[in-house]
């Protein structure tokens, strides 16, 4: 679909109240396949490859705000007045920005592996990754993503998940991935989440990217959020704990 002058790969399944699923850095719509299948019996499930990710071509001006603007425009194009919105990793910053600037578009918010605004070391790490992607391609970064973002339990007991994460990374366009790394490097905190907005936070006990304390801080500031910490799970929440995450979303929605 042409959204804000960009060609974005969009998938829509099922009928009912709208649920928008937003992937994180290195992800695609396929990150949510298990959850989309579970939700499509009751909901209209909308997934999109963000600009520069997956099947969506590289675009200029990629940022957290531009991704949020694209989501708002996508919902408008689809005639969706408001949606429950799920975000993962960098996508949690995107959907928080969406909720802050387009509050009428978001009826509920679920954050998987919620991340903070990067510290300076994290910003530099993303800039370094972008440079490495441009120099050597996705093969140069995929092993580190698998090693650092998945839990030891997942790598040992679910090697197929590790293989799928590697495939997601390897299939990214290097320039698109680099620009999204730079978008994360430039990210700022989207501000407080409206206390009246239903909020679910799900993260893994072994998540080093979006650690449990980040979700707990957001929940404490919100005042009435639900927090679920999944044992033995790392950062790729919806893949490492596919069925538990689907069950949590069904319960929340």
pLDDT tier at 252, thresholds 50, 70, 90: very high
pLDDT tier at 116, thresholds 50, 70, 90: very high
Nearest to 118 by CA among 78, 163, 64: 64
The pLDDT value given to residue 115: 98
The pLDDT value given to residue 147: 96
Which fold would CATH assign to domain 2-117+188-252? Rossmann fold (3.40.50)
pLDDT tier at 119, thresholds 50, 70, 90: very high
pLDDT tens-digit series, residues 147-177: 999 999 999 999 999 999 999 999 999 999 9
CB of 227 closer than 8 Å to CB of 216:
yes
Q: Where do the domains of the chain lie? A: 2-117+188-252
Strand ranges for the chain from DSSP E = 2-3, 6-7, 10-13, 18-22, 44-48, 83-88, 106-112, 199-204, 226-230
CB of 117 closer than 8 Å to CB of 187:
yes
The pLDDT value given to residue 26: 97
pLDDT tens-digit series, residues 61-83: 999 999 999 999 999 999 999 99
The CA–CA distances, whole Å, from 238 to 46, 76, 150, 165, 203 equal 16, 27, 11, 11, 9
Average model confidence (pLDDT) across the chain = 98
**What are the residues whose beta carbons fall under 8 Å from the beta carbon of 44, sequence distance 6 or more?**
12, 13, 14, 15, 16, 17, 18, 19, 80
pTM over 0.95: yes
The pLDDT value given to residue 57: 98
pLDDT tens-digit series, residues 140-149: 999 999 999 9
Mean pLDDT of 51-64: 98
The pLDDT value given to residue 69: 98
């Amino acid at each position: 679909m042409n959204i804000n002058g960009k060609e974005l790969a969009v998938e829509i399944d099922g009928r009912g109240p709208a649920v928008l699923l937003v992937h994180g850095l290195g992800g695609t719509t396929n990150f949510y396949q298990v959850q989309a299948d579970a939700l499509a019996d009751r909901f209209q499930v909308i997934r999109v490859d963000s600009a520069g990710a997956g099947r969506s071509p590289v675009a200029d001006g990629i940022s957290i705000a531009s991704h949020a603007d694209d989501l708002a425009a996508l919902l408008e194009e689809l005639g969706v007045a408001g949606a429950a919105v799920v975000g993962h990793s960098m996508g949690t910053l995107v959907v928080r920005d969406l909720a802050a600037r387009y509050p009428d578009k978001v009826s509920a918010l679920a954050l998987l592996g919620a991340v903070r605004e990067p510290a300076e070391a994290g910003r530099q790490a993303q800039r370094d990754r972008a440079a490495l992607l441009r120099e050597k391609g996705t093969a140069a970064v995929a092993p580190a993503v698998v090693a650092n973002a998945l839990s030891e339990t997942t790598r040992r007991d679910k090697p197929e998940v590790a293989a799928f994460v590697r495939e997601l990374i390897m299939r990214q366009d290097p320039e698109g991935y680099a620009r999204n790394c730079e978008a994360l490097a430039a990210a700022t905190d989207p501000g407080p989440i409206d206390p009246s907005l239903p909020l679910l936070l799900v993260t893994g006990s072994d998540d080093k990217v979006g650690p449990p304390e980040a979700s707990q801080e957001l929940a404490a500031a919100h005042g009435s959020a639900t927090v679920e910490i999944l044992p033995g799970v790392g950062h790729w929440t919806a893949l490492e704990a596919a069925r538990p995450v689907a069950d949590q979303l069904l319960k929340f929605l």
